Chains A and B, each alone.
Chain A
């Protein structure tokens, strides 16, 4: 069984600053993938970034980077230079080589202040 834990229910960040969203996971699989999605108030889940368990380098996509620490089973998302449009719910999720479905955490609400 896979489990994703996001311990921060909500966070405030000043515009143009960076914010780190925590995600820890638990799995017995050796091959797995970690994903971050953004969900604005409109409801659509927007894919942000992916990290494979065998990837040696941390993934980056524009202002998003994933701080992957395999031994600690953590996959934190860093959003740099926050913008007002970054205000949303953010979900960490994972899938494994034996399981196509995504397991999601409870999410973190990010509010960017001007």
Chain B
């Protein structure tokens, strides 16, 4: 399977702990995106990378959130000092180099529950 993969699929943590999620995009895609989705809502954009460069960050991405894509391949999203409001589905997507209207393909997501 050459689709987008995300690990872990589920994460339960206690408030105040740090968590890290990983995303492996489709291999030939140079753009990688992170979105957050809360229950009953559509996904909201967090940040995106073109190769290893982080080109845009949403104001939703507080200073407790950090994302990296060190070699332009996989990406990690870390949340420090988690809060109950961080409970959500975190979705990763990737797209190729065909311009802004290229299709984004999503991974299965990581469901985070902060107790």
Contacts and interface: CB of A to CB of B under 8 A. Distances in A.
Chains A and B come from one and the same complex: yes
B108 A104 contact: no
A43 interface: yes
Contacts of B2: none
Interface in A76-110: 91, 93, 95-107
A50 interface: yes
B111 interface: yes
Interface in B97-113: 99-101, 103-109, 111
Interface in A2-48: 4, 31-33, 35, 37, 42-47
B109 to A, nearest CB: 5
Interface string B15-35: 000000000000000010101
Contacts of B85: none
A104 B101 contact: no
B41 interface: yes
B72 interface: no
Given A44-B109, A45-B91, A91-B42, A101 B103 contact: no
Nearest to A106: B42
A32 B107 CA distance: 23
Contacts of B56: 100-101
Nearest to A103: B45
B108 A97 contact: no
Interface of B: 31, 33, 35, 40-45, 48, 55-56, 58, 89, 91, 93, 95, 99-101, 103-109, 111
Interface of A: 4, 31-33, 35, 37, 42-47, 50, 52, 91, 93, 95-107
